[in-house]
A and B are shown apart, each in its own frame.
Chain A
Amino acid sequence: MIWLSFEEFIAMGGYGTYVWGSVLVTGGALALELVLLSRRKRSALLAAAQASRRRQA
């Protein structure tokens, strides 16, 4: 462990905005992609189920 305190860790030697702006945006973007993918999958399954019901009706 190279940090003496939590504040020091967050400050990143004065580069906190740049460092955390990189890490958080990367993590956030990847998480958002997963959310969008799961929504896309749900709507694809829903559409297929509706199409199949229409064919049977």
Chain B
Amino acid sequence: MSGQLSHGPAAVPGAITATHAPARGRWWLQYASPQAFYGPAGVLASLLLPLSAVLAAAGLYVGFLIAPTDAQQGEAYRIIFVHVPAAWLSMVIYAAMAFWSAVGLVANTRLSAMMAGALAPTGALFTFLALWTGALWGKPTWGAWWVWDARLTSELLLLFLYLGFIALQAAIDEPRRADRAGAVLALVGTVNLPIIYFSVKWWNTLHQGASVSVASAPTIATPMLLGMLVMALAMWAYAAAAALVRLRCIILEREGQSAWVARVARGGAA
């Protein structure tokens, strides 16, 4: 990062920055700079957010007005339309966070670490929602809000991993060190993802097995499946939008001393 931008944290040798002219076919590397990605992130978020609202409306319509009553669980099963997508997202967001952490560690790009940090609170929120809706589903079907079952326990561990990541990043003053420490924690925590996913197979759990898997035909009725998938897409779009908005906040906070942020803050373009 050369002269005009470097009021912020000092440039790290070898970092991929916007000021190197990217080779042909690597044009996208220019977006590895926080300044360059600030605008596109805003555009993406403003497209994803309405998309998420439309998908959520469609998913809730299918799930609550079209999908039939479940033969075993009655109407209580309709929690599936928020519970399963939230639980999927809690894992997908963690995988994305670990991915950007790894990119940040390997390529030493500041934006990747910021992206990981931007994903964490949204991931923690989805994990909380998976646990919350799970408790509300467990009570009428199992008779208990909570059991120390492998699936539930590993999902709770996921929440602690998110919170640990957030706390660790917040506890270290120097942003680049905080990024690296958080990235290592995020990567170590990925061990938990297959444990959550396969917990219902590996252990004898109270939690029901997967209704949908890539390896076999779904075991639930079509409108139920459709409602669940559309809700998952809605939450996916939402999570991406929220993370991008948070990324923009992080960029503004970290680059607050730079000339371009001053221009943006005073009403100019990035």
Contacts and interface: CB of A to CB of B under 8 A. Distances in A.
A43 B137 CA distance: 39
Contacts of A17: 136
Contact of B264 (A13, A14, A34, A48): A48
Nearest to B260: A48
Interface in A6-22: 9, 12-15, 17-19, 21-22
Nearest to A25: B132
- DSSP majority for the B interface? helix
B140 A22 contact: no
A42 to B, nearest CB: 10
A46 B66 contact: no
Contact of B249 (A13, A19, A40): A40
A50 B78 CA distance: 50
Given A13-B74, A15-B75, 16 more contacts: A2-B65, A2-B67, A2-B69, A3-B65, A12-B76, A13-B69, A18-B76, A19-B79, A22-B82, A26-B86, A47-B253, A48-B256, A48-B262, A49-B266, A51-B256, A51-B262
A29 interface: yes
B242 A19 contact: no
A23 B80 CA distance: 10
A44 B76 contact: no
Contacts of B76: 12-13, 15, 18-19
B188 interface: no
A1 to B, nearest CB: 6
Contacts of A44: 249, 252-253, 256
A46 to B, nearest CB: 7
A33 B129 contact: no
A21 B68 CA distance: 20
Given A12-B75, A18-B140, A41 B238 contact: no
B79 A22 contact: yes
A26 B249 contact: no
A18 B76 CA distance: 7
A41 B256 CA distance: 12
Given A22-B82, A46-B265, A33 B252 contact: no
Contacts of A55: 262
B122 to A, nearest CB: 7
A22 B137 contact: yes
Nearest to B128: A29
B248 interface: yes
A45 to B, nearest CB: 5
A14 B75 CA distance: 8
A8 to B, nearest CB: 10
A49 B140 CA distance: 53
B246 interface: yes
